[in-house]
Structure 1
């Protein structure tokens, strides 16, 4: 299958690597040349590290690179399956998907990696609603085993099955979720972040202490470490979206600490500062 990944940020480049490593021909599209080059460098480094650790062999590394095409021209994205992993804004997603529909037509499958925007809303505003489906990876995509597949009200059974087959083909665990706010994982995980922020806001514990306690309880990362990894602004956007979709239920209310950090431009590891400071 030829797969087009839209957006070469942290999530997009991870999905591209996973797909190419599984043998799919991948076109990774990114309008920003600098971000595209960073993605290419990062994928090469990640594969080299996996080779060094003995997780893959040299032939697999070479095959993955061979399967990857990097481009800043949207016209190059002529594929069987599109997975968009761009900014979590409905209008932006629809604009890009509309451009891709003109290039690819009605036979291509149009998947969104959205964390919280209703797939039914996307499909209702799209030229080929039956071809829309959700394929939701988790960060980092090349490590996390779970992928949610979300069916919009309009998604055809055939498209849903192809999406499930694709997830299986990239050696991930596929779960099918209803098109409900936050789907499954983000709805459950929202309070992991929100409660951590409330504890910090009340000065009951520092970011470091909260993260230490969570890790001591068996989690690999605490909420503040994880938000910095995902992107503080991305995490906040999902919380805001779910707050609105749940009719402003207070338990989903965005936290002022996180809002201020985002307003300051501190998005986490990608900017060198979030809840913690990192060497760039």
Structure 2
């Protein structure tokens, strides 16, 4: 299975990062979003990332331009009509993802693989919206995509071996490390990470320590590069809450119950760094 043309759906933080690493690996990339302004914002993020690499001597200005030239603008899902792979990086919502995959199934060529960058939702359920569940797979990149090496590769119930092998090979071409994970809520990364973040929020909620103290304990005591509350702000508290709800519903276990303080912050619109305020205040 020869992958040459890739479409990335969603030009946000994750989608733009995925588009960048695909273009850097030599793939022709269509970066898709609903509106021109979202595409432009994503494209500018890629350009800034590459400029930093030029400044640090990791690539030349010509290399940067070559990568940017590999990325084309797409404002219609119909542009999936000639690609070999689609990587969906839209909002973490099952209804939205199933709607996108149903459309892609009708538009993308018969041979095309449909991948989702979901961080917690069942691949099998997303695949059920298509008539090609054997060609649907999970590719969970880590944030920030250009820096982080890991990609969780998740088979759905019907995903065939040829599709898995093609995605594993491509992941290596992106200079990433593929790790095979089974289709359970949260996979491995978020099943382990999010309850830790949620517990840190409970620790703050119950007055055990200040937010700074909680983060310092995990940074200096456990050698984490970033404290869990600061990390939650960077991920987005709405995303953290949504993943905890997926885990809670998927496993039916009270240990995954989202902390009331997390719910309160999300309802207040304090979503973290992207809104200027979460557990910390960002200028």
TM-score of the aligned structures, taking structure 2 as reference length:
0.94
Name the residue aligned to 1:271: 275
Check conservation: 1:109, 1:159, Cα contact below 8 A.
yes
Tell me what 2:251 maps to. 246
Match of 1:53 in 2: 56
1:132/1:152 contact within 8 Å kept: yes
SS at match of 1:76: helix
| 1:75-119 Cα deviation digits (max 9, x unpaired) | 223311111111111110011111122211321100011111111
Alpha-carbon contact 1:30-1:71 (below 8 Å) kept:
yes
1:18 matched to which residue of 2?
A: 21
Structure 2: distance between partners of 1:123 and 1:183: 16
Offset from partner CA, 1:32-71 (integer Å, 9 cap, x none): 3322221111111111112112232323212210111122
Is 2:128 the counterpart of 1:129? no
Instruction: Give the equivalent residue in structure 2 for 1:179.
Output: 183
CA contact (8 A) 2:101 2:127 kept: no
The alignment partner of 2:40 has SS state of helix
RMSD: 1.3
| Alpha-carbon offset, residue 131 of structure 1 | 0.7
Of 178, 190, 213, 1:209 maps to 213
Flag structure 2 segments of 5+ consecutive residues without an equivalent: none
> Is 1:149–2:187 an aligned residue pair?
no
Q: Which moved more, 1:155-164 or 1:68-77?
A: 68-77
Deviation at 1:30, TM superposition (A): 0.7
Instruction: Quote how far apart the aligned CAs of 1:133 are.
Output: 0.4
Q: How far apart are the structure 2 equivalents of 1:20 and 1:209?
A: 41
Contact kept, 8 Å, 1:106 with 1:131, in 2: the verdict is no
Moved more, 41-50 or 259-268: 259-268
Q: Secondary structure at the match of 1:3?
A: strand
**Superposition TM-score, scaled by structure 1 size:** 0.95
* CA distance in 2 between partners of 1:222 and 1:106 (Å): 45
Q: Deviations over 1:191-248 (max 9, x none)?
A: 221111111011111222212221213111111221121221112111110111011x
CA drift at 1:128: 1.0
Q: Is contact 1:7–1:84 with CA below 8 Å preserved after alignment?
A: yes
Instruction: Give me the whole-angstrom Cα distance separating, in 2, the residues matched to 1:93 and 1:106.
Output: 19
Q: How far is the alpha carbon of 1:159 from its aligned partner? A: 0.6
Q: Secondary structure at the match of 1:275?
A: coil
Structure 2 distance, partners of 1:268, 1:55, is 31
Gaps of 5+ in 1: none
d(CA) in 2 for partners of 1:264, 1:33: 29
